[in-house]
Every structure is written in C-alpha cells, then in structure tokens.
Amino acid sequence: MDLVIIDYGMGNLHSAHKAVEKVAAGRKTVAISSDPEVIRKAERVILPGVGAMRDCMAEMTNTGLLPVIAECLQNKPFLGICVGFQALMQTSEENGGVDCLGHFQGRVKFFGKNLVDSNDQRLKVPHIGWNQVQPTQDHALWQGISAAEYFYFVHSYYVEAKQPEQRLASCDYGAIHFDAALVENNVAAVQFHPEKSAAAGLQLLNNFLNWKP
C-alpha cells in the first residue's frame, strides 16, 4: 500500500479515505487498516482522530497499535490529523489531563469558556468552521497553497508546541495564537481537516502523498 489510514477505532474515517482516494486518482493505492502488518508495510501513513483524547489514547493501547505507530513515527512519512495531531504532543488538558505519545514537545490546552473576539463578542467553543492558516516555514507540504488559505477546523483544544523550529503553520482564534501544523523530519501533523477543506485540503493531501522527507 502506498498509503494507509490507521484505524484504531476512533470515529469516522470515510471522509479522509475518500479525499485521499480522490488525490491518489488510481495512481497510488490507499486503504484503511487496523492490521499492524498492513500498517508496517505501508509506504506512508495517516493517523486521524476524532473524539476525546482519553478514548483515543485508550483505543491506541487496546487495539495493540501503539508499537506500530511508534515505528511509523521513526521510519516513514507520517501525517497526524486533528486529534491524531494532538496525540503526538506530550500531554493534553482534556479529560482532566491525559499523557500522550510525546513525539513533539509541548502540550494541548483548552480554549476556555470565556473566549471573546476583538469586539468583545463571545466566541463559541468548539472552534468550528473555516479559518485562515499562515504557513510559518517554506515546506513541500505547502506547495501550491497560498499563504492565509482557509481550512476547516473542529476542535476545543489547541496545540502549544515548545520548539519553534517545528512550527509549520499558525492560526488565531480570538486572542489565542496556536500551532495549526508542526513538522519534524518525516512527521507532520495538522489541526485542521484537509479532507474537508475543499481544493486547498486536497492539495495538501496530494503534497503529503508525494512528500519525500
């Protein structure tokens, strides 16, 4: 398989699968799998994720996929999406505090209940909808995507990375400036949903399919 979407029992992977199939356009093979051998043999993988962090970490453990995910993080192009991004950080504030995979240094924080915009109007949490993403470094994953392009987000928690050189893109919600994407070597991760972000999202997935870190 050229690309495998890791199925660890969390939520709906169909959107991601359909979007990747669209950009693969029959030239590359794409599958959803929970089989460690299939994942191990994949050329590249996507770690998706919806739902709560505690459940995500528990499912990764219960399905026995933690070892193969750890291997993939070391040896092949890897894309984390949404909770699959947050899971790569050290800890999350969600569910009273959850230890995560710790691939990237930094933590996952709650937007809070009292977020307001510049006009003092209350902001809704989750952060749902289209917001602009500002690339913070030149990278193959941004090829063909303009600065300040819109992507679709759905999340109540955000990433605060410790190492600035890993920053790939940022975004603002109210007064909170957060990491919309990180990258280091073969591992990239995004907070937004490229699979639901129209042409820009498909371009990013296509860039990932062709990425040679």
Partner 1 sequence: MTAIKPTTLTKRIIPCLDVDKGRVVKGVNFVGIRDAGDPVEIAKRYNDQGADEITFLDITASTEDRGTTLKMVEQIAGEIFIPLTVGGGVRSCEDIRRLLNAGADKVSINTAAVTNPELVKEAAERFGSQCIVVAIDAKKVSAEGEADRWEIFTHGGRNPTGLDAIEWSKKMVELGAGELLLTSMDRDGTKNGFDLGVTRAIADAVSVPVIASGGVGNLQHLVDGVLIGHADAVLAASIFHFGEHTIPEAKQFMADQGIPVRL
- Site residues, partner 1 (CB under 8 A): 11-12, 14-15, 18-19, 22, 50-52, 113, 117, 121-138, 147-148, 150, 152-154, 171-173, 177, 195-199, 201-202
Determine how many CB atoms are found less than 10 A away from the CB of residue 76: 18
User: Smallest distance, Å, CB 180 to partner 1?
Assistant: 9
Q: Are 125 and 146 in contact (CB under 8 A)?
A: no
Q: Which is nearer to partner 1, 41 or 177 (CB)?
A: 177
Q: Which is nearer to partner 1, 156 or 210 (CB)?
A: 156
User: Smallest distance, Å, CB 1 to partner 1?
Assistant: 20
Task: Please enumerate in sequence order all residues whose Cβ is within 8 A of that of 176, keeping only pairs 6 or more positions apart, or say none.
Answer: 111, 115, 158
User: Smallest distance, Å, CB 19 to partner 1?
Assistant: 5
Q: How far is CA 62 from the centre of its chain?
A: 21
Q: Which is nearer to partner 1, 104 or 151 (CB)?
A: 151
Phi, psi of 121 (to 5 degrees): -85, 140
Q: Which residues are the active-site residues?
A: 82, 193, 195
Q: Are 80 and 204 in contact (CB under 8 A)?
A: no
Here the tokens at position 184 are 């280091």
Q: Which is nearer to partner 1, 39 or 56 (CB)?
A: 56
User: Smallest distance, Å, CB 130 to partner 1?
Assistant: 4
- As a whole number of angstroms, the distance between CA 168 and CA 189 comes to 9
- As a whole number of angstroms, the distance between CA 156 and CA 199 comes to 25
